[in-house]
Amino acid sequence: MPTQKEKMLNQMLYDANHDVTLLRERENAKALCYKYNLLHPSQIQKQQDIMKKLLGKTKGSFTIVAPFWCDYGYNIEIGSHFFANHNTTILDGGKVIFGDNVFIGPNCGFYTAGHPLDHERRNKGLEYAYPITVGNNVWIGAGVQVMPGITIGNDVVIGGGSIVLHDIPDHCLAAGNPCRVIRSITADERERNWDRENEFGQEITRP
């Protein structure tokens, strides 16, 4: 008979509210997040030490601006040159994996957790956790919310305020609610005059 943690890690319905092991692990992760969020911004080495203890895997340099919150920590893997701005929240009952050179704007959320639609099982505290994967060279704008089971490809920009309900392919700009592909990112992007255009490549009208 699998444990509740094994069920969680294998995308099965599990009891998140009454299992002693999971309750203890979440309490430990929240304690580390709390300690991290109270550090002075200049205490960079202490910040790094806590994150390396909290997260499942880190690679190279990374910056996570407080406050930061997660459920377990050990299910989060980040690549090199990872940056997450203020108020990043990761509900990591399932794996959440970020590639290299991922930039995350403020107030973003990554939620692997979901609940049954029927109230009987939901009221018993049952939930599921589907993994989230973010590729390399991805910029996620402010206020983006990524739902369970989503894969975001390589070289992708997600426009601010988007709610990502479906997978996003490589090399594209996507935005909206629900988030959808706006256009491909092309080789001439480096030639665009970004001080006169917004992230959708449209000229900004100035008064």
Which residues belong to the active site? Answer: 115
CA atoms within 13 A on the CB side of 66: 18
CA atoms within 13 A on the CB side of 32: 20
Which residues, 6 or more positions from 57, have their beta carbon under 8 angstroms from its beta carbon? 76, 77, 78
Integer angstrom CA distances of residue 95 from 39, 46, 153: 27, 25, 16
Q: What angle do CA 160, 96, 145 make, to 5 degrees?
A: 25
Q: What angle do CA 23, 90, 41 make, to 5 degrees?
A: 105
